[in-house]
Amino acid sequence: MASTPPVQGLSDERLRAAEEAPGFMPLDEAYALHQTAATYLSQPDSVGLGVEIGTYCGKSTVFLGAAAEANDALIVTVDHHRGSEEHQPGWEYHDTALVDGHSGLLDTAARFRQTMFDAGLESTVLGLLAPSTAAARIWGRDVDLVFIDGGHSMEAAQNDYDGWARWVRPGGALLIHDVFPNPEDGGRPPYEIYRQALDSGRFTEESVHGSLRVLRRVR
């Protein structure tokens, strides 16, 4: 990631923390995520809260957190920190440096905390260590935005959509990452829940940024 002038709390130090964190979000999509969060967290009817589903090591969380801090808001980021399917041994994105020696399982929680420490966002970003389905069961309030970037199996994507899209306030935003209409470009589950959101009549497409889709809740 290249350094740029600070925008809504994105200092060079925070950009460096995001760059050094393991993760997969392209810089242009990360900036779009930041701009969208800043927009929805600063609206007159904002409730001052956004949710990210799928933390990994906190790369995209830096961009959400910077926007939240600039608007006196909070971000809750939800992850079990054991990695998605593609992060497991034998899969393309497995990173042995993130394996916990005690359990023998992937554990990205400490690396996420390091990213938030380096970015100076520990008071703005609240890490919820739990499966998305379990966290959704105890949730109970509207939010300004939900960013879905969790597991890419159909079951995981469906659970994220079913559990969290309903908490977007009217006028708020649902963001879905890795949406590829062409099956040759990437996995289908994020595209499928994106289509479900549009077909529900509750959301309308606001903007497209690479594989990032921004939907606004209309009812």
Q: Where are the domains of the chain?
A: 12-217
Contact call for residues 142 and 172 (beta carbons, < 8 A): yes
Catalytic residue list contains 102: no
Query: What pLDDT does residue 5 have?
Result: 38
Q: How many other CB atoms are found less than 10 A from the CB of residue 86?
A: 14
Q: How many other CB atoms are found less than 10 A from the CB of residue 16?
A: 15
Q: Percent of the chain at pLDDT above 70? A: 92
Residue 85 — pLDDT band, cuts 50, 70, 90? low
- Mean predicted lDDT score pLDDT of the chain: 92
State pTM to two decimals.
0.91
Query: What pLDDT does residue 7 have?
Result: 64
The whole-angstrom separation of Cα 27 and Cα 46 is: 26
Q: How many other CB atoms are found less than 10 A from the CB of residue 158?
A: 14
Q: What angle do CA 15, 21, 24 make, to 5 degrees?
A: 95
The whole-angstrom separation of Cα 126 and Cα 115 is: 13
The top-level CATH class assigned to 12-217 is: alpha beta
Q: How many residues does the chain have?
A: 219
Query: What pLDDT does residue 3 have?
Result: 36
Q: Which of 34, 80, 152, 209 is catalytic?
A: 152
For 5, 87, 114, 117, 139, the CA distances from 158, given in Å and listed in that order, are 38, 19, 30, 32, 17
pLDDT, one tens digit per residue, over 96-148 is: 778 877 787 789 999 999 999 999 999 999 999 999 999 999 999 999 999 99
Average pLDDT over residues 33-53: 98
Weakest mean pLDDT among 21-25, 58-62, 173-177: 21-25
Residue 81 — pLDDT band, cuts 50, 70, 90? very high
Query: What pLDDT does residue 147 have?
Result: 98
Query: What pLDDT does residue 8 have?
Result: 76
Q: What is the DSSP string of the chain?
A: -------TT--HHHHHHHHHS-----HHHHHHHHHHHHHHHTSTT--SEEEEE--TTSHHHHHHHHHHHHTT-EEEEEE-SS--GGGSTTSTT--GGGB-TTTSSB--HHHHHHHHHHHT-TTTEEEEES-HHHHHHH--S-EEEEEE----SHHHHHHHHHHHGGGEEEEEEEEESS--SSTTTS-SHHHHHHHHHHHTTSEEEEEEETTEEEEEE--
